[in-house]
Amino acid sequence: MKLESALSDRILEVVTRTPSCRVEDLVYHFPDLTWSQVFREVASLSRKGHLRLMLNGRGIIVKNADPGHAVL
């Protein structure tokens, strides 16, 4: 669980610095992880209300659910 929490914090930091990034762009920041590992954590953060996932012509866009979000 601690590892997932650390990954959540890392993902939220990247999304805060790079608003409206694509999932593929987010995966680029974590070369030590697979696309599936990153997406699983992004999906979990979305279900918990920390992130919003939106589909557009560029792919799946990841945004902070709260623009004033502070990292967990």
Whether 16 is covered by a domain: the verdict is yes
Q: What is the pLDDT of residues 8-41, one digit of tens each?
A: 999 999 999 987 889 999 999 999 999 999 999 9
Q: With cut-offs at 50, 70 and 90, classify the pLDDT of residue 72.
A: very low
Range of the domain at 31: 2-64
Whether 59 is covered by a domain: the verdict is yes
Whether 72 is covered by a domain: the verdict is no
Structure token digits, residue 34: 């697979």
Q: Report the alpha-carbon distance of residue 68 to residue 46 in Å, rounded.
A: 16
CA dihedral 61, 9, 1, 4 (to 10 degrees): 40
Q: Report the CATH number that the domain containing residue 56 is assigned in CATH.
A: 1.10.10.10
Q: Where are the beta strands (DSSP E) in the chain?
A: 21-22, 51-56, 59-64
Note the pTM of the prediction, 2 decimals: 0.80
